[in-house]
Structure 1
Amino acid sequence: MNLNDRQRRLLFAGILVLLTAAGLYLTFAKPDDGPDRPEAKSSESATAPPTGPASPPPGIQTPVNPNDFDIYRLLPFTRQEFATAADLAQRFVAAYGTYRFDEPPETYSQRLAGFVTDDLRTQLTRDATTPGLLEERRREQIVARGSASLDQVRTIEDNSIIFVVTGTQQVTKGTTESSDSRKYAVTVTRNGGSLRIYSFQPADAGQAGDTG
């Protein structure tokens, strides 16, 4: 296309106007509202889920009255949570010590499932299905009835409580009856919005506290 001098000057002026307008827009335009802007990051951080205990203690600011002292205001567990954890530990130890030679090991494992975390349930199921153990119980026709008593609170952490629990078994082998007692350290921990047995072992073996 052939342009005369006047047309070329007009075309050049039009291009210059467009370039100037583009430069002004890039200089003064507001940043976009993309996810990388500081405001967006601040908002995302503000809505992040809280960490730590599900029920942080409210603390005590008034003078302590020995006749009306609520210790649960200084603990990371409420009175209800503490009672639930204690009941869970006691009932678990009683259930752990209860079994029969003529019941499938799956029944025993299922009976414990409602008390424990998934990892501990896997371990207990593996232990309960040991061929030598099952054969011994069948051969001697062992029937055990468990009971338990809460003895002590060993440790309280932000998300776990360790109880010392005595488990007692009334054991029948054929026509012979006997009794046996053992102390266990039972760790109850918060697990997915509920309380579950995280681990347990003989009380004299020691046990770590908080599970995070």
Structure 2
Amino acid sequence: MNLDDRQRRMLFGGLVVVLAAIGVYLTVAPSGHDDDAKPRPTVSPTPTGPASPPPGISGTVGSGPFDIYRLLPFSQQEFGTAADVAQRFVAAYGTYRYDEPADAYLRRLSGLVTDDLGNQLRQGAASPGLQQERTAHKVVATSGATLDRISDIGDNSLIFLVTAKQEVTRDGHTARPSQQYAVTVSRDGDALRVYAFEPAGTGQQGDTG
């Protein structure tokens, strides 16, 4: 279509009016989907340590290395702390001597165990029969401990298999017995402490909830 200058000016003016009207309408007209149209702010999560249950992995993992601790309820540091507590507890539990007061023995264990377990150990260490037996035979025991493996992982507890390797002198004779324990380390406030232990294979304490 061929337009002269006057017709082109009229057409251009009309387009300007139409576009201006559309712009005014879009500016003042209410929208029924206002929430959907507005971009939502992205909130960066505050690093608070591993969640319980863990956050998981939503993306593709593939066959390469990945952060396994995102699938576990304990961080790498917590695993290390719990393992250290379990090992030191077993070594301290198996180290005693006949002429040592029970309070001194219990002080070595106090920072490693929960209050409930500490009370149980106190009752056992203060037993007159135990003290008399050790004194009569001049029993002296020292112990090391070997971490064997993790037996179970719960939301709030870890069970380690730990082998105690003692050197026990009794009536002047020395023996070197060993015993594997299932040691349950649980969250206790802001700390990780031994919640329960028993000879391995006799049943293990579950998650402490």
Both structures adopt the same fold (TM-score exceeding 0.5): yes
Q: How many pairs align? A: 160
Among candidates 170, 176, 194, match of residue 197 of structure 1? 194
Among candidates 64, 76, 90, match of residue 87 of structure 2? 90
Kindly provide the amino acid, as one letter, of the partner of residue 134 in structure 2: R
Shift of 1:176: 1.1
Contact 2:99–2:135, Cα closer than 8 Å, also in 1: yes
Q: 1:208 and 1:96 mapped to 2: Cα distance? A: 18
Matched, 1:78 2:75: yes
- 4+ residue segments displaced more than 2 Å: none
Quote the RMSD (CA, aligned, Å): 1.5
Matched, 1:55 2:44: no
Contact 1:76–1:159, Cα closer than 8 Å, also in 2: yes
Matched, 1:151 2:148: yes
Shift of 1:70: 1.9
Kindly provide the amino acid, as one letter, of the partner of residue 103 in structure 1: E
Q: Which residue of 2 aligns with 1:109?
A: 106
Kindly provide the amino acid, as one letter, of the partner of residue 165 in structure 1: V
Q: 2:90 and 2:63 mapped to 1: Cα distance? A: 35
After TM superposition, the score normalised by the length of structure 1 is 0.72
Aligned-pair identity (%): 56
Shift of 1:54: 6.5
Aligned residue for 1:205, secondary structure, equals coil
Contact 2:94–2:141, Cα closer than 8 Å, also in 1: yes
Shift of 1:62: 2.7
After TM superposition, the score normalised by the length of structure 2 is 0.73
Q: 1:197 and 1:93 mapped to 2: Cα distance? A: 10
Among candidates 157, 161, 164, match of residue 164 of structure 1? 161
Aligned residue for 1:63, secondary structure, equals coil
Among candidates 164, 177, 180, match of residue 183 of structure 1? 180
Q: 1:66 and 1:163 mapped to 2: Cα distance? A: 29
Contact 1:98–1:145, Cα closer than 8 Å, also in 2: yes
Q: 1:131 and 1:65 mapped to 2: Cα distance? A: 61
Aligned residue for 1:204, secondary structure, equals coil
Unaligned runs of 5+ in 1: 1-52
Shift of 1:125: 0.7
Q: 1:66 to 1:149 in 2, by over 3 A?
A: farther
Shift of 1:163: 0.8
Unaligned runs of 5+ in 2: 1-47
Contact 1:89–1:186, Cα closer than 8 Å, also in 2: yes
Q: Which residue of 2 aligns with 1:210?
A: 207
Q: 2:63 and 2:119 mapped to 1: Cα distance? A: 46
